Amino acid sequence: MINSMTGYGSAEGRLSGITYAVEISTVNNRYFKPTIRLPESLSFLESDVEKQLRLDVLRGTVNYVLRQKGAPAEALFEINEKALATLIKRLGEISPSGGVDRELDMGGLLALPGILTPAVPSGETAKRIQRKVLAITKQALKGLKAMRAAEGAALAADLEKNCRSIKATLEKISQQSAQGPQQYAEKLTKRVDELLANAKVKLNDETVAREVALFADRADISEEIARLDSHLVQFTKALKGNAQAGRKLDFICQEMLREANTIGSKASDADIVHFVVDIKCRIDRIKEQVQNVE
């Protein structure tokens, strides 16, 4: 069964007194497009997180957020004490006559480049954090996939409903087109008889038959009907097959619309034209929904 590209999943876990919370949300996109937001101190996890996301998400814009809760200050950043002391010493050496006679702003000093840096864990600590974060990520992905599957089931139901409607309309077109040549022959004979009534000339039956045959050949839409019906079968089969069928469904939609346009251009019957308009509206609805299929 197909999956939707819209979903959400979250999970959290604790390690060494710190809570790690992961949130993953996805929306539709033609390609896989991850946006990963990590604390600066855990930026080394980005490539591992992206690899994990790629294993479970084929298409869509993926927004991944990792937050730390309850982390002590020393676990988040480090102060370059040597650089700070050197800076303060240099500032103190500047004489008041040089224009520096105000109190130092410690907040401004800490904001200078190289003074306050993220506390990046290393060694075994980094490995333990990596294992924990990836385990939490897998839990969040499990919830995400469950939601995408539920959304996919609802999408599939709506798409199948539209396919059934198109098939029913297509049967009406088939029935109506079968009557086309006979109706054309009757209209042609009546029209010509009216024009030739005063001349007392009767139209040759062979001439009428030849003209009707030419009309039937020009207006024959049996092949287009058969192909559109075949596309509907393929579409329905794809809905129940591979979960990542979005690209295939999108391609089938294009072919369905192509056949519907051809039927509309070849048909001369007003009822058939109206039926084609209904089919094209349904196909547009399907195309819109397919954009959300993974």
- How far is residue 14 CA from its own chain's centroid? 34
Sign of dihedral through CA atoms 47, 49, 51, 57?
Answer: negative
Class of domain 7-74+121-149: alpha beta
The phi, psi pair for 51, rounded to 5°, reads -60, -40
pTM over 0.85: no
CA distances from 46 to 23, 65, 280 (A): 15, 11, 45
Q: Per-residue pLDDT tens for 216-227?
A: 445 567 788 899
Q: Per-residue pLDDT tens for 158-209?
A: 999 999 999 999 988 888 776 655 554 556 555 655 555 555 555 555 655 5
Nearest 5°: CA angle at 67, between 48 and 125?
Answer: 55
CA 210 to CA 18: how far, in whole Å? 88
Per DSSP, what are the bridge partners of residue 294? none
Q: Summarize the confidence of residues 25-39 as an average pLDDT.
A: 94
Weakest mean pLDDT among 17-31, 61-75, 172-186, 194-208: 194-208
Residue with token string 């609802």: 154
pLDDT of residue 271: 83
Question: What is the DSSP secondary-structure string of the chain?
Answer: ---BS-EEEEEEEEETTEEEEEEEEEE--SSEEEEEE--GGGGGGHHHHHHHHHHH--SEEEEEEEEEES--HHHHEEE-HHHHHHHHHHHHHS-GGGT--S---HHHHHTSTTTEEE----HHHHHHHHHHHHHHHHHHHHHHHHHHHHHHHHHHHHHHHHHHHHHHHHHHHHHHHHTHHHHHHHHHHHHHHHHHTTTT-PPPHHHHHHHHHHHHHHT--HHHHHHHHHHHHHHHHHHTS-S--HHHHHHHHHHHHHHHHHHHHH---HHHHHHHHHHHHHHHHHHHHHTTB-
pLDDT bracket for residue 264 (50, 70, 90): confident
* pLDDT(1) > 70: yes
Per DSSP, what are the bridge partners of residue 293? 4
Residues of the chain with CATH 3.30.230: 7-74+121-149
Q: Are 264 and 219 in contact (CB under 8 A)?
A: no
Q: Which of 162, 161, 163, 147 is nearest to 294 (CA)?
A: 147
pLDDT of residue 263: 86
Pairing status of strand 116-118 against strand 77-79:
antiparallel
